[in-house]
Amino acid sequence: MTSTTPKNDIQEILKDLGLKQENQGTSTGLNYFGSGEMIASFSPVDGALIAKVSTTSKEDFEKVTQTAAKAFKSFRTIPAPKRGEMVRQFGLKLRALKEPLGKLVSYEMGKSLQEGLGEVQEMIDICDFAVGLSRQLHGFTMHSERPGHRMYDQYHPLGIVGIISAFNFPVAVWAWNTALAWVCGDVCIWKPSEKAPLCGVACQNIIAQILKENNMPEGISCLVNGDYKVGEMMTTDSRIPLISATGSIRMGKIVAQAVAARLGRSLLELGGNNAIIITPSADLEIAIVGALFGAVGTAGQRCTSTRRLIIHESVYNQVKDKLVSAYKQLRIGNPLDENNHVGPLIDKESVATYLSAIKKVKAQGGKMIVEGKVLSGKGFESGCYVSPSIAEVENHYDIVQNETFAPLLYLIKYSGSVNDAIAIQNGVVQGLSSAIMTTSMRDAERFLSQEGSDCGIANVNIGTSGAEIGGAFGGEKETGGGRESGSDAWKAYMRRQTNTINYTTELPLAQGIKFDF
């Protein structure tokens, strides 16, 4: 069963967020403008047009970049705790607007309301983290080999941070970057996904209000809208020292090459091909819950979605039967209805990709245990709703090696030790998130050792999806190597400087070099 989104509700949501259908899509923090073509935002929930947003022309982008560069010169001189105060106020505003912004995320992107609200909570959490961080941007003091000398390193802001975000997390990933960048003293230019542009306009509205209330200069938070062409303006612009990009591996390689060509920095969060290993000693009740949410949450459109279950042969049939039973109980429909588990894919193009992947699984020798299909009828008029799939495969299949951004879960059987399962898990080019379900301390520690998971995230007895902001988020190999959010990820937004101070009347050289004359 599903329900239809009341049209009046979305109008109330837009009103609460200060949005109108004529909203422009380019902003330097206080004023909107834009001379590019209009892009339409259609909801995958019901196919309705939400609003139209203007895109950024070359002239618009030049104005934005100049404004941001000017703002940086003054913003970097504001003490970090004062910048943190601005972020604190932003977090408070997000708390007040959590419900309407969460609903907009759910309606424009298609994820469940609980996940939409959770995404806004991530924004709030990273603001809290950043406020504390604003008083902890520390360097280190080192002992000099030369008498009467002191050495230390310190961190300075980089300048303009360019942010390119994906549709699946239309607000949280931006906040991960901006909250840290702002307390570090950087200013930001953000290009949200053209598939969820209104979420970007909503966020910019919120921070623009905070900037105005604090008499901050224009350019601290900038918004540009459009397709890959706008992204190219950012990646090729030498005035933007750091590009933080979230998206596909294909996109990431293009960004990395463009930024490297001008010797800039890239922070890349790219594709995942995440696996859960289920060992003979696993608590299967926990394992099923973790696998189920990981596979179908956000309709399989998370970079940390569970793509592969690597299951020991001794428990393989049990796990398969439990999963099939669980899939039969999934409720698919309007994500704003909290009774539903799974919402739509982002658009019909994603639906076509999903159906193509199912065909490839069968063509390459896989067996469909639960075969998904496009759903039709009342409540599914958008054409973006599908039922999730489960397939028995081998890890070497080409389709398994490549990430499908949809609810397609692969079951892979292993028969040896945990080392064999780890080898299967690591046998893909992606290296984002991983997990093991086990009650064996030896298996768990092996999985976490240097000979274990090669992913940036490795979990024990929890799934691959659902990271907390306290830890650095990111992956290895073709996932890009970037780190965002917690831990010391803030250092990516700053430049390190080593300082040596001589407080004597002599000038000894390092390494004992003599230079007498």
Please list the active-site residues. Answer: 269, 303
CA separation for the pair 49, 102 (Å, rounded): 18
Q: Locate 229 and state its tokens.
A: 């062409």
CA separation for the pair 364, 376 (Å, rounded): 28
Beta bridge partners of 183: none
Beta bridge partners of 389: 408
Three-state secondary structure call for residue 483: coil
- Going from the C-alpha of 250 to that of each of 255, 269, 426, the distances in angstroms are 9, 12, 20
b or e along 291-312 (b: 16 or more beta carbons within 10 Å of the residue's beta carbon)?
Answer: bbbbbbbbbbbbbbbbbbbbbb
CA separation for the pair 90, 460 (Å, rounded): 34
Angle at 197 between CA 377 and CA 73, to 5 degrees: 165
CA separation for the pair 328, 44 (Å, rounded): 23
Is-contact 131 87, C-beta < 8 A? Answer: yes
CA separation for the pair 275, 277 (Å, rounded): 6
String of DSSP letters for 322-371: HHHHHHHT--BS-TTSTT-SB---SSHHHHHHHHHHHHHHHHTT-EEEE-
Is-contact 407 389, C-beta < 8 A? Answer: yes
Is-contact 297 464, C-beta < 8 A? Answer: no
CA separation for the pair 397, 505 (Å, rounded): 70
CA separation for the pair 451, 398 (Å, rounded): 25
Contact residues for 120 (Cβ-Cβ < 8 A; gap 6+): 94, 97, 98, 101, 102, 105, 171, 172
* Residue at token pair 């105060």: 85
Is-contact 477 429, C-beta < 8 A? Answer: yes
* Residue at token pair 């759910």: 106
Is-contact 240 189, C-beta < 8 A? Answer: yes
CA separation for the pair 160, 166 (Å, rounded): 20
Q: Locate 193 and state its tokens.
A: 């996904």
